[in-house]
Amino acid sequence: MSNRDDSRISAKLHPRLRLYANARPEVNSERAAQAAEMIPLSMPLSAGSPAPLESAASFAPSIRRREKISELDDVNLVNVFVQRHAESGHSSEQAGSSRRSGSMEVMTLSPREIARLASDPLVALIEPGEALRLPVTLRSSRSTGSGPGRRRSVAASDLHGNGAGVLIGIIDVGGFDFTHPDFIRADGSTRWHSIWDQGGTGRPAPGFGKCMFGSEITAGHMQAALAAARNLRVPAYRLEPQSQMQPGSHGTHVASIAAGNAGVAPQALIAGVLINLDRDNLTRHQSFYDSTCLANAVEYLLTIAGRLGMALSINVSLGTNGHAHDSSSAINRWIDYALSQPGRAVSVAAGNSGQEAPSADGDLGFIMGRIHSSGRIAAAGLDRDIELVVGGNGIVDGSENELEVWYEPQDRFAVSLRPPGSERWIGPVEPGEYIENLALPEKCLVSLYNELYYHANGCNLISVFLSPYFSSHAHVGIPSGVWTVRLHGRDVRDGNYHAWIERDDPRRFGPDGWFWPSSFSPASNVDNSSISSLACGLRVLGVANLDESAERINISSSQGPTRDGRHKPDVAAPGTNVIAANGFAAADSPWIAMTGTSMASPYVAGVAALMLSANPGLSAAQIEGIVRRTAQPLPGMDFSWSDSAGFGRINPEACIREAATAGTRQERKS
């Protein structure tokens, strides 16, 4: 095989997969402990310490064009999306095959298997699953009364039947408290159809397709538990335990808003998918698992709705930060393919990264908001710097940091990197070149990739990875300070670029270290386009957080537009101090108030369910159009789209009335 063929095969791999493939197995085992999409197979780790993969003697490394992958291991597995050239073509028979949607597959493979798959001429691109993030919600006072304060009923029930005949799917974390009175009918029966607990072990896995992991709790199981609990005098959820049963659970609260008895669609049937979390992730609200699990969740809900012959409204109050924010990510394309059929809607939280400055002394929320930078190189020969802040105040970051810079295919940029406190630059790395796993004197590793014509969208991609030094007996973090990414304009015809940081959340690592989110400096941060990339899909409904009492968008709500200039978020809905079910809590504290786009999104999912009840044949595009058309401006705004509020506040009754007549025609009488 020629070097050119090797290079083309390598180019089918997302840069992060190359990073994994060219690391020693011991390094990947350590990396798997924190990387969402990696799964370690051998524990405990082997004792050997991996040698640095590049010489640390110089900041002037050899810069290479793409070449064949050198080291592979079968010790660790990676969850990936595989894009094929033809939907009806060859399908992999490898054991890692999971689910397929159109021309895409979800697979779990070792680095060796990934490299072998990349040599298949029908494979176009292999991308790792993106880390999912739970948009951090603020919890406020609990209500000890008998209800949630006010019901979310929508007028025109003669048209929408309160959601009857529609399945609402909730993909979330923290557990679903099916015993809460907000999910019990007057006759004592449950309103839940099923819960697929992807990390559960108490019941068999769903018995269809490739959903052959986790456990499925059916309505029959729940009903039996409710009956037995009355005699045993224990909470029914103890008799049908889930892998997560967190007091004040996020998933329970979200389901209550969309479809509880006091929710927007109180007659809808409910199905939940509990995304797998380890115990540490459950308590620290950080990045967790990966978007391939979300793809499996969507397919599960589609299967259930198809079997029942019901329209389906899905809510996803989770987010992703990486990729191009232009609907081209694998999970965006997976969901958009699902939405190509009528009778389906997906609502997604815009994210809680809207705050870019402290609102008071001691407020650190802005750190989570400084995730986006953008600018323009005006002409060839000019440079632009992007300042990436790692750690701070002596904090050494023990987590892997990733920065993506997307720019137009007609341009050619080179990239250089300067570590904190150094006068020497790594690079420049020219278009089509890369530096991989360069060990710095501090032992942390640097990788730079400058990709041309990325397969998913045809744009150019610069990837910057800052990796701690991993070994089985040492973990050396990334030095704190400002890392300067310099973009060099080589051939400039457009000049625009956008950059995003893939995030984790602050948490301690060992006695002295932290996993700490990097952020852009105030000079580099640009506060728009902070919306979750998951909410940038073509036909999903991206939802902003409306503070009803203040009649404005909450400061934390992420902003649009998408990188390609589309209008996301679509609409705003109540998301501040929203009172809904308090899952797995004491009987005298049944309700809790939470704040975040996580609370706004299920409100819209409930409205979409009412629209589908009024007109089950609506397409996702029609639902999006109606929601935008009927939205009401906030005070001081007009009907124009805004980056914080979308087209304005959702108008549920107007949505229903428009939905009921959508797709009809009337002959004009002369």
Per residue, what are the HEC states of 268-323? CEEEEEECCCCHHHHHHCCCEEEHHHHHHHHHHHHHHHHHHCCEEEEEECCECCCC
Selection from 493, 413, 414, 409 nearest residue 453 by Cα: 409
pLDDT on residue 146: 52
Q: Are 576 and 548 spatial neighbours (Cβ–Cβ below 8 Å)?
A: yes
DSSP letter (8 states) at residue 535: G
Do 266 and 259 form a contact (C-beta atoms < 8 A)? yes
Tokens standing for 252? 């329970």
Percent of the chain past pLDDT 90, that is, above it, reads 63
Residue 505 has pLDDT above 80, yes or no: no
- The letter for the amino acid at 522 is P
Chain CA centroid to CA 337, Å: 17
Report how far residue 9's alpha carbon sits from residue 138's, in angstroms, rounded to the nearest whole number: 46
Measuring CA to CA, which residue among 399, 350, 407 is closest to residue 373? 407
How far apart, in whole angstroms, are the C-alpha atoms of residue 579 and residue 293? Answer: 29
Q: What is the pLDDT of residue 378?
A: 98
Place of tokens 């978020």: 569
Residue 180 or 24, more confident: 180
Residue predicted with more confidence, 66 or 652: 652
| pLDDT at residue 69 is higher than 80 | no
Residue 243 reports pLDDT greater than 50:
yes
Q: Is the pLDDT of residue 63 over 90?
A: no
Q: What is the pTM assigned to this prediction?
A: 0.89
Task: Give all domains of the chain, ordered by start, each with its CATH number.
Answer: 138-175+242-254+263-354+531-661 (3.40.50.200), 365-520 (2.60.120.1290)
CA dist., res. 192 & res. 269, Å (int): 6
pLDDT at 612: 98
Closest among 2, 76, 16 to 46, alpha carbons compared: 76
Q: What is the pLDDT of residues 335-361, one digit of tens each?
A: 999 999 999 999 999 999 877 665 555
What is the pLDDT at residue 354? 77
Among candidates 202, 237, 270, 273, which has minimal Cα distance to 587?
237
Nearest by Cα to 167 from 343, 310, 307: 310
Residue 277 contacts residue 288 (beta carbons within 8 Å): yes
pLDDT of residue 33: 61
Q: Which of 271-280, 423-432, 447-456 has the lowest mean pLDDT?
A: 271-280
Evaluate whether 489 touches 381 at the Cβ level (below 8 Å): yes
> Angle between the 620-630 and 652-661 helix axes, to the nearest 10 degrees?
130
The DSSP-derived string for 553-588 is E-TTS-----TT----S-EEEE-SSEEEE-TT--TT
Q: Per-residue confidence at 629, pLDDT binned at 50, 70, 90?
A: very high
Count other Cβ atoms within 10 Å, centred on residue 481: 16
Does residue 25 surpass a pLDDT of 90?
no
3-state secondary structure at position 335: helix
pLDDT for 73 equals 55
User: Crossing angle for the helix pair 620-630 and 597-614, nearest 10 degrees?
Assistant: 110
Rounded Cα distance between 545 and 610, Å, is 21
Q: From residue 336, how far is each of 79, 224, 344 by CA, in Å?
A: 20, 38, 10
Q: Is the pLDDT of residue 277 over 90?
A: no
Q: Which helix (H) or strand (E) holds 615?
A: none
3-state secondary structure of 426: strand
Is residue 61 scored above 60 in pLDDT? no
Phi-psi region of 262 (alpha: psi -120 to 50; beta: other; left: phi over 0): alpha
Q: Are 504 and 478 in contact (CB under 8 A)?
A: no
Whole-number pLDDT of residue 85: 87
Residue 429 and residue 450: Cα distance in Å, rounded?
7
Under 8 Å between Cβ of 492 and 377 = yes
Q: What pLDDT is recorded for position 35?
A: 56
Q: What is the pLDDT of residues 279-325, one digit of tens each?
A: 444 443 334 458 999 999 999 999 999 999 999 999 999 988 889 99
Note the pLDDT tens digit of each residue in 77-112: 888 999 998 764 555 545 455 567 778 999 988 888
